Structure formats: structure tokens, C-alpha cells
Amino acid sequence: MLLFPFLLTNGQEKKTAVKNEAFTSGEILTFRLHYGLISAGTATLEVNAATDSATGRACFRVTGTAKSARSFDWIFRVRDSYESMIDAVTLLPYQFNRRIEEGKYRKTEQVRFDQKKHLAIKNGIEYQVPPEVQDIISFFYYVRTINFNSATTGQVFPIMGFLDNKVIPLHVKFLGREIIKSDLGKISCIILEPQLQEGEVLKDRENMRVWLSDDKNKIPVRVEASILVGSLNMDLTGTKNLNSPLLVAK
């Protein structure tokens, strides 16, 4: 997903701080899920200050939930929850938890990251991971800190992630800019294409697009994803405690 512009010596945890002007503790983002013209549910992302119990490091505890509306459950039932404990300085994860219920698909996962030894530990099994590895939540919040001002159309930003017991290369492709009409007004956005894993839910690894506000916050304004049963979209409906004022286009 991204070019990590940080120095790292072997066996050492990254020491250089990530310049983060995008988010801070207290931020809450709310979204509407929809399947075509049908209202499908709601989603929330919330950032809170926390301390990692094992390392004593100051962290952002990021929680995300997605829930389909009861009227939509018969089409595609969703009850998802995610949590990531992210170092407040390096934006590297220490703990990742998720519980997924999407249609008939089920997944529960708890992963502990040792960023000094470059290990991901799950169910007592150690997996060797590259330096600066991300989970799927910390990855997204790291993406929000990237400066896309000089990005060119088609430029790919790589990163390494750990998901489903394996290290996976993740990529974000910069597609350009667009003004999006949202519930909060017209917002100038950066268009990105996260190339995640295809599988039980995603139809294809390149069938997802994300519109981030083209300001310091880089909050997701719209997400479009092709899933196995059609297209499920997410639109921003509300914000609280943004790090910077949201820029609304005239």
C-alpha cells in the first residue's frame, strides 16, 4: 500500500514518527451502507486513546463496526467488528481483532504483533513478518497520512500486510481526483483503488474504490466494492472531532 519513508535497523522497532495530521483521538465517522438503491445498513469507525498493556506504548485504539439493516438481512446479512491497537507514533499495530459475519461466511481472528522481532502471533503460532507490517485497519489509517499531492495517475503505493495467517502484498493505486456529492455537501476527493485479497466476499482484488477527502483529514467519503452478490457501497453521513475542518467544495 505505501512507500514507508522510514529507516529501520535489523531487529529494531521503527523509531521515526509518522507525520500524522489526518486523525486524532475522539474521531468518529459514520456511514450508510447501500446495495444499489436499497439501504443496506450502517457502519462506524471510532478512534480512542489507549495504552498497549504489553509494551506500555501510547496507542490509538481503532474500532470499526458494520451492520446490515434487518430489512436487508435476507439478502446479505452483515455483522462485522474490527479492532486495532495502533502505536500513536509509528502507526504500527500491536493487536488486531476481528469478527466477521457476512452472509454464510464467518471469521474470528486475534493477532498479536511483535514489531521488534517481526512476528505475528496467532493461536500460539508465530509467523515471520516483514518490518513495518500492517493489519487491515492500521493500513487504512496509515494510508490517510500519505501525501498524495505529487501522486500521478496510476501510481501504486505498496505496503506489506498480515491477514488470514499469511503475509500479503497490499497496494493502493492513485486514480486521480473528483468532487463527490455527499450528505455533508460537495467534497473534493482523492480516488484510490485498494488492491486487497479476493476471497469469500470480495469478487476481485481490484474491484474496490475509495474516495478520501482531499484535505488533511483524508476521511473516506465513499467506498464502492464489488462483492460476490453484487455491489455494496458505503457513503459518509457524519463526522465528530475531526483533526482539521472538513473542506466542502462550493
Alpha carbon of residue 81 to chain centroid: 13
Task: Find which of 8-17, 83-92, 97-106, 197-206 is predicted with most confidence, using mean pLDDT.
Answer: 83-92
Contact in structure between 133 and 168 (CB atoms under 8 Å)? no
Q: Look up the domain containing 33 and give its range.
A: 28-240
In a domain, 8, yes or no: no
| Position 153 in a domain | yes
Statement: residue 188 has pLDDT above 60:
yes
Q: How confident is the model at residue 1 (pLDDT cuts 50, 70, 90)?
A: very low
20 in a domain, yes or no? no
Please answer whether residues 236 and 40 qualify as being in contact, where contact means their C-beta atoms are separated by less than 8 angstroms: no
Higher pLDDT: 228 or 87? It is 87
Q: Is 122 part of any domain?
A: yes
The residue with cell 529494531 is 12
Would residue 140 count as lying in a domain?
A: yes
Asked whether residue 23 carries a pLDDT value surpassing 90, the answer given is yes
Q: How do residues 57-105 score in pLDDT, each as one tens digit?
A: 999 999 999 998 988 888 788 899 999 999 999 999 999 999 999 888 8
Residue 15: pLDDT over 90: no
| Cell numbers describing residue 21 | 495530521
pLDDT band for position 146 (cuts 50, 70, 90): very high
Kindly state whether residue 10 falls inside one of the protein's structural domains. Answer: no
Lowest-pLDDT range, 53-62, 221-230, 231-240?
221-230
Nearest CA-CA partner of 47 in 229, 217, 205: 217
- What is the CB neighbour count within 10 angstroms for residue 15? 11
In a domain, 37, yes or no: yes
What is residue 230's predicted lDDT score, i.e. its pLDDT? 62
Domain assignment present for residue 18? The answer is no
Assign residue 110 a region (left: φ > 0; alpha: ψ between -120 and 50; beta: otherwise). beta
How many domains in the chain?
Answer: 1
